[in-house]
Amino acid sequence: MPDAKPMTKNEVLTKLREEIAAQRRAAEAEPDPGRRAQMLRDADTREDLAEAEAEAIAEEIAESAQQAAISVRVTTSLSEALKARASAEHIPLSTYVRRVLTQAVEHADAPVLTLSQVEDIARRVYRESA
């Protein structure tokens, strides 16, 4: 089966506008005038942001199409250290690991840490986060 082509911005925008239209229909059917007004305001806001939202979603879809999942086993201490650092930066673990791997590949000539050094860092991070 050939690879599916990622959705374009216009295709995403069409889907968003369909969702917004359904949101407006639901608002019109709402018996509570206050709730109806809020639902319509929400739909208006979504419509105002639809272009930017469609562009962001299309970019995310395109990025996802260019990514591959890998699985790697690491020590528990390394896993906890990675999770702690990702949490400290308020980003998902996968984003943090992707960043670390990208930096490692792009800067392959940079000194590499030994397993012992990584474990020491992980212990230090664990102690500091406790």
Length of the chain: 130
Contacts for 13-17: CB closer than 8 Å, 24+ residues apart:
13/50, 13/51, 13/54, 16/46, 16/50, 16/53, 16/54, 16/57, 17/47, 17/50
In three-state secondary structure terms, 4 is: coil
In this predicted structure, what is the pLDDT of residue 1? Answer: 44
- Write down the pLDDT at residue 3: 58
Phi/psi at 4 (5° precision): -75, 140
Tens place of pLDDT per residue across the chain (130 aa): 445 677 788 888 899 999 999 999 999 999 999 999 999 999 999 999 988 888 888 888 887 777 788 888 999 999 999 999 988 888 888 888 988 888 888 877 766 778 888 888 889 988 888 7
